Structure 1
Amino acid sequence: MKIPLFILLACIINMPKSTAKNHDEVKHYNKQSYERQLTKLLTSLNEVTGVPGFSVAVVHKGKLVASVATGFSDIKSKLPAKPNTTFRLASVSKVIGATMLAELVINDQLNPDVSIRQYYPELNKKYHSITVRQLLSHTSGMPHYQIKDYDIYDAHFDTAVEAAKTLKDRDLLSRPGTEYLYSTHGYTLAGALYEKITKQPLTVSVENFITRWSGKETPAIENINDLHERSSRLYELSKMGGSEIVFGEKSYSVFGAGLYASASDLAFFGGEVLKKAKTQKPYQQLLFTPTTTQDGNPVTSRNFDVGFGWRIAKDLHGRKVYHHAGATPGARSMLAIYPEYDLSITFLSNSSWISSIDKFVFALAGLYIDSVKPETLTSTEYHINNNGKSLQGTASCQENECLLTDSTTDYSRWLNTFNVNKAAIKQWPVFFYSTEQGQRLLMVNKVGITEFDGKGNHFEVNTGKDQTYSIQLINQKLD
């Protein structure tokens, strides 16, 4: 059979900017205005990327302040994606599993720093020196997907202990505790440990946990033989648009990739994690303290540290954020929570696509946190500069959206190398806003939504390798 390919995701690197506004002073969008802007941005993103369906939800201080969906959950039947549509979570499942294990630690049922042999003595001896903290921080030495995994997508496993057989006694890639090696199989083992400790299958434990924490219907374990009635279909991007693909098994790693949810239910879960971390300090310390290797160095990967399963980072404006993203055939997902703002945001989609998902989800959250206001334009002249190349033109606009023509700069040509199912983009949708700190521009593109901050109608972003892409608006006509 064909082995599914798990996509390595491209990141657009942006330098953090300082945040002038204190989180206690933030004035937020009203729900209708915020949802309108999210809908416009996501609809444009559907068109540019070819991804059939998106869903976004935002919970602030325990209340749902936005819940929107765009595109289709089922192209063939022309069923639109709705706010209650459920999507695969892919690796976002990992932070649900990690938080479940954290609850065992807080309740003195699990020591995260002792050998897992204490809880699972029948494991192969090569795994005995691993700890739960190492499994969740990807420092156990367990490998990620390998050629020998060709058969795990067809078999159904009723329990995580049974699914642990898929580990096939594979060798460790490094000595436990010495280096970061991302591994879904580590979470397969973590799920089996949870069952060993609680003496309950995850099919029971996950539902009970979500009921205790958020009281919502999802996240829940996906059963491809009994799909949720509101489940989105799965798609891959092709020249013909979104091509439907079959549901492969995810029961081989419930904690690693096996859950599904609606965007709003997942956002409420994120809100509950923030609540627990605020009211019970042991959760804050356990989940969001960077893990260290045996030599005392923080466990890091690219632009985040790794805690107890959760990623610890800062957004484009230097705000602290805990998050995790996921990609699997038929899904691209993210959950991000802002502890200083008591805000949780989720983004779900029904196709795997190369995207700088963290950057654009942070940008969507920033619309709310920074109380941005759309600036309505009827037309504008613009100058674009990138890596020694410059161009100019005139854009017609509707409300705060304009189309800027650029098919020649290095940045636009680079963006068009991704998700090539769609024709090369020549006209880029850009959305204009004002904030108390200045101006903001969001550009919709093949890998997501890029945020530019600006002043005096001049916007600039760092595109990497000491290069910038700048847009100057000239003689714009306001409505």
Structure 2
Amino acid sequence: MPSPPRLSTPQLPPLLRWCTLLCLCLAALPAAALDTSALQAQLETLRAAAHAPGASAAIMVKGELVYSAGVGLADVENQVPMTGASVHNIGSVSKVLAVVGLMQLVEQDKLKLDAQIQAYAPWFPRKQAPITVRQILTHTSGIRHYKDGEFGEGDVLMYRQWNDIQAASQRWKDDPLLFDPGRYWNYSSYATNLLQAAMEQASGRPLEDYLRAQVWQPAGMTSTQFDIPARIVPRRAHAYEYDKATGALTNTPQENVSYKFVGGGVIASDEDMVRFGHALNAGKLLGKRAIAEMYRPQLKPDIEAFPNPDGSPARKPPVQALIWRVQTDGAGRRYMAHSGSVKGTYSYLANYDQQDVVVALHVNAQGGEPDLKGTAEALAASVLAGL
């Protein structure tokens, strides 16, 4: 099979460059002190490191959208510019949207963090030791993550439509646990997918309906929904793969993520993501006690990451809260964050909840080495200095 044509990173035509700069200026009007040219340069650096056609970002400060912009292209074939309102699959950032909805059910005493998962998913087989909802939320359940080859030859099973989480879990639900729950930390999207069953049982509603009514609409997230291939989605961006060996940029396969709506199946814009963070900070989604528990570091001090099968050293577990990770920037400021990668995209959400500064980022290609965490911290620093 011939190699894909070598493509240089697409450049915006002059008219589209002018439109992008105009959007930058308009988005920045409420915060005149911001150096938008510097912010755009940081986005361009991020885009180049990712070898992506485009990159986007949004910043919200105390409920004010002070920056929303993109560089490059959201759609290469149609020459559509990237903006902060472009809609992408946000990958594992989907998990933090779900955990807020779950904690609402905890507040209402409809769901218990330390209940066994079978209380909400009775079809899930019992293992060598009980698994609690909290252990799923902290990646200490022992349920495995993905493994090579499980989607079949040519990854054909990635295109299958699943109509419920019980059916979608059949590929892995009977596997033994990697370890007794609580013994190690091991990131698992399969485990977090079980939260769909828990939330649907506790709320009595389909998960998307519940999240839309209880999380997305109260936060003003007008573009957020499940990533369903058949839907027509305004401003949907496209995603790509970059081949380091050849320098080729190709369309990414359009995986059907119906098997992991909680784990990585939500689409949203950067603007929606920062609205979500502010709504959380403003107490519109959860009470103070629930937020404190959600953000509290949950792991025992001596817990280790599950050893790698090849014997290589396992990385140190993160400061793990309930789904969220506690991060510290170069100035020593604490913030809550999560990253995501799926279908040719990288996403990042950073919430400086104490200052009510929220940053969301996205690049639309995988294969490069973008520093989303560092870029998010730099964007946040540009507004934190003035608070």
Please give the TM-score of this superposition, normalised by the length of structure 2: 0.82
Paired AA for residue 253 in structure 1: K
How far 1:228 moved relative to its partner? 1.2
Deviation by residue 1:237-287 (Cα, 9 ceiling, x = unmatched): 134453212311111111100011110011100111222299822122221
Contact 1:219 1:261 in 2 (8 A): yes
Q: How many residues align?
A: 342
Identify the residue that residue 14 of structure 2 maps to in structure 1.
Answer: none
Match of 2:170 in 1: 165
For 2:74, the equivalent position in structure 1 comes to 73
CA distance in 1, matches of 2:284, 2:215: 16
Matching residue's letter, 2:166: V
Match of 2:25 in 1: none
Is 1:197 paired with 2:202?
Answer: yes
Q: Distance in 1 between matches of 2:286 and 2:254?
A: 40
The residue type equivalent to 1:38 in the other structure is L
1:164–1:192 contact (8 Å) kept in structure 2: no
CA distance in 1, matches of 2:223, 2:190: 23
Partner in structure 2 of residue 430 of structure 1: none
Q: Distance in 2 between matches of 1:259 and 1:278?
A: 18
**SS of the counterpart of 1:169?**
coil
| Paired position in structure 2 for 1:359 | 374
Aligned to 2:150: 148
For 1:17-46, what per-residue CA distance to the aligned partner results, in whole angstroms no more than 9, with x for missing partners? xxxxxxxxxxxx934734332222222443
Partner residue of 1:282 out of 286, 289, 294: 289
Q: Which has the higher helix share?
A: 2
- Which among 255, 260, 269 is matched to residue 262 of structure 1? 269
Between the aligned partners of 2:302 and 2:285, the Cα distance in structure 1 is 26
- Find the aligned partners of 1:257 and 1:176 in 2 and give their Cα distance: 23
* In structure 2, C-alpha distance between the alignment counterparts of 1:332 and 1:279, rounded to whole Å: 27
Query: Equivalent pairs: percent with the same residue?
Result: 26
Partner of 1:248: 255
| 1:255/1:309 CA distance change after superposition, 3 Å | same
Alpha-carbon distance in 1 for matches of 2:329, 2:128: 36
Is 1:326–2:340 an aligned residue pair?
Answer: yes
Q: Structure 1: where are the runs of 5+ without partners?
A: 1-28, 373-479
CA distance in 1, matches of 2:74, 2:127: 44
Deviations 1:43-92 (A, max 9, x none): 24434542111110011111111101111011111111122110110111
Structure 1 residue 210 and structure 2 residue 238: aligned? Answer: no
Contact 1:161 1:191 in 2 (8 A): no
SS at match of 1:153: helix
Letter in 1 for 2:208: T
152 and 196 in structure 1: CA distance in 2 versus 1, 3 angstrom threshold:
farther
- Show CA shifts across 1:194-247 (max 9, x none): 122222222322222334430221332100122412111110013445321231
Residues 219 and 260 in structure 1, CA contact (< 8 A), matched pair in contact too: yes
User: How far, CA to CA, are the matches of 1:279 and 1:328 in structure 2?
Assistant: 28
Alignment of 1:277-356 (within 5 A): 280-293=287-300, 297=302, 302=316, 304-352=318-366, 353-356=368-371
| Alpha-carbon distance between aligned partners in 1 of 2:110 and 2:304, rounded to the nearest angstrom | 25
Change (3 A) 1:140 1:125: same
Q: What residue identity is the alignment partner of 1:274?
A: N
Shift of residue 156, structure 1, vs aligned partner = 1.2
Larger relative contact order (Cα-Cα within 8 Å, sequence gap ≥ 6): 2
1:369 corresponds in structure 2 to 384
1:106 CA drift (Å): 1.1
- Worse-matched range after superposition: 172-181 or 272-281: 272-281
Amino acid at match of 2:290: Y
In structure 2, what residue type is equivalent to 1:313? Q
**Alignment check: 8 A CA contact 1:31 1:66 kept:** no
Give the aligned residue type for 1:305. Answer: V
Looking at structure 2, the residues matched to 77 and 226 of structure 1 have their Cα atoms a distance apart, in angstroms, of 19
2:328, 2:335 within 8 Å by CA — same for their partners in 1? yes
Q: Is the 8 A contact 2:57 2:68 kept in 1?
A: yes
Distance 1:215 1:47, change over 3 A: closer
Alpha-carbon distance between aligned partners in 2 of 1:187 and 1:358, rounded to the nearest angstrom: 23
Alignment counterpart, residue 193 of structure 2, candidates 172, 188, 196:
188
Q: Which amino acid counterpart does residue 268 of structure 1 have in structure 2?
A: R
1:330–1:339 CA distance, 2 compared to 1 (3 A): same
Distance 1:170 1:68, change over 3 A: same
Query: If the length of structure 1 is used for normalisation, what is the TM-score?
Result: 0.67
Separation in 1, partners of 2:288, 2:326? 17
Q: What RMSD in Å do the two structures reach over aligned CA positions? A: 2.4
- Is the contact made by 1:142 and 1:183 (CA closer than 8 Å) also made in structure 2? yes
CA contact (8 A) 2:185 2:317 kept: no
| Rg larger for | 1
